Amino acid sequence: MLRQITPRQLADLLAAPDQAPQMLDVREPWEYRICHIDGAELLPMRQVPGSLDRIARDRPVVIICHHGIRSQQVALYLLNQGVKDVLNLNGGVARWAQDVDPTMPTY
């Protein structure tokens, strides 16, 4: 079952460095250049299947996109590939900008 995480929950998780998840931003490079969450690694959706060795297996993995739709697809794919602790950022960076960081550029 795919778990969802809200931007506020992710911000709380990031505030506890001993619990820091891996954050994968699956948008395109041009989107990532406009805005991204500090610490998020860019891994465009199309590159995920060939990059499974980059996915953490020892801590939670939060998948991020613009609104949470592409990231949900990637998160489900990773679950099907045997990655156990995957979370989808509900609402993506758009909701992060709204709920956590109103100074973040949006598009």
Only one residue has tokens 């709380």, namely 12
- Spell out the domain ranges in the chain: 3-99
What is the average pLDDT value for the chain, to the nearest integer? 97
**Rounded average pLDDT over 57-77:** 97
Exposed/middle/buried for 44, CB within 10 Å: 0-12, 13-18, 19+?
middle
Cβ count within 10 A of residue 80: 8
**Model confidence pLDDT, tens digit, residues 86-98:** 999 999 999 999 9
pLDDT given for residue 2 in this prediction: 94
- Catalytic residue check, 65: yes
The whole-model pTM stands at: 0.96
pLDDT given for residue 19 in this prediction: 81
Largest CA-CA distance found in the chain, in angstroms, rounded = 37
Q: What is the CATH topology of the domain spanning 3-99?
A: Oxidized Rhodanese; domain 1 (3.40.250)
> Which is the catalytic residue, given 23, 35, 63, 65?
65
Spatial CB neighbours of 58, under 8 Å, sequence gap ≥ 6: none
